Amino acid sequence: MTKNPPQDISKPKTRRIMGGGGLDDGDDDHQENKWPPWLKPLLQTSFFVQCKVHTDSHKSECNMYCLDCMNGALCSLCLASHGDHRAIQIRRSSYHDVIRVSEIQKYVDVTSVQTYIINSARIVFLNERPQLRPGKGVTNTCQVCDRSLLDSFSFCSLGCKIVGTSKKFRKKKMCMDTDQGYDTEGSLNGISNIGYTKSKAHHSFTPSTPPPTAGNYGTAKRRKGVPHRSPMGGLILQY
């Protein structure tokens, strides 16, 4: 009598995808299936680059994304091989990637993300657009990157909503608020806690900018030096 070989009952390994706030597929939010699996790869994709397959076509700009294949940015000619797959179009506004609300709201809840009207269409930004400092009189900012918002919104982009609604970010924010409370108390006693900023509480989904090449340094324009005024330039002669 032959014995059957023991079956492998080990769990399949989960693919780790780093995103905003250091989230990955093992995160509690992923276990709750809060976000579709294609959303984080979409936010990390670089769009508006030339298609490597259709380089000879004038329609080779990659501004499409297949939600079923999740294989990067596609041009309009690439969609012919994707049949009846779900595809969305990415647009641009002020050098930032945006998508129409009418397209994305079919698959993702965009509630609490600020919308804008561009070319008579309502859009949302894919990734954060942090500001160095909020404008005067601003009463509401993005919970993640501090960008100025209207009072009825909590996030400036889809990426910030993913980060800001995660359990990890909320825990970090609570710790940060606690540390800021200690910092305020320490400042009153002449002690300052330097270096702890909100930027340490999250990471961006935005694709990284490629480093400058050697050619870029050669073509960069030199800034002119500060002009020095003549010592006698401000002297008024009286007769």
Six-digit token pair at 42? Answer: 């979409």
Element (H, E) at 162: helix 158-164
What residue type is 113 in one-letter code? Answer: V
pLDDT digits (tens, 9 = 90+) for 60-118: 899 999 999 999 999 999 988 898 999 999 999 989 999 999 999 999 999 999 999 99
Residues 6+ away with beta carbon under 8 Å from 48: 61, 62, 63, 73, 90, 92, 97
Mean of per-residue pLDDT scores for the chain: 74
Six-digit token pair at 88? Answer: 């969305």
In angstroms, the CA 124 to CA 161 distance is 11
What residue type is 154 in one-letter code? Answer: S
Q: What is the pLDDT of residue 87?
A: 95
Q: What is the pLDDT of residue 229?
A: 56
In angstroms, the CA 102 to CA 91 distance is 13
Q: What is the mean pLDDT of residues 177-198?
A: 46
Q: Give the Cβ contact number of residue 174 at 10 Å.
A: 10
Six-digit token pair at 40? Answer: 């984080």
In angstroms, the CA 221 to CA 211 distance is 18
Q: Give the Cβ contact number of residue 198 at 10 Å.
A: 15
Q: Look up the pTM and report it.
A: 0.64
Are the C-beta atoms of 123 and 39 separated by less than 8 Å?
no
Report residue 136's pLDDT band, with 50, 70 and 90 as the boundaries. Answer: confident
CA-based end-to-end distance of the chain:
126
Report DSSP letters for 87-146, one per residue: EEE-EEETTEEEEEHHHHTTTS--TTB--EEETTEEEEESS----SSPPTT---B-TTT-
Report residue 210's pLDDT band, with 50, 70 and 90 as the boundaries. Answer: very low
Percent of the chain's residues with pLDDT above 90 = 43
What are 155's strand-pairing partners?
113
Q: What is the pLDDT of residue 211?
A: 46
Domain boundaries, the chain: 20-167
What are 98's strand-pairing partners?
91, 125
Q: What is the pLDDT of residue 206?
A: 63
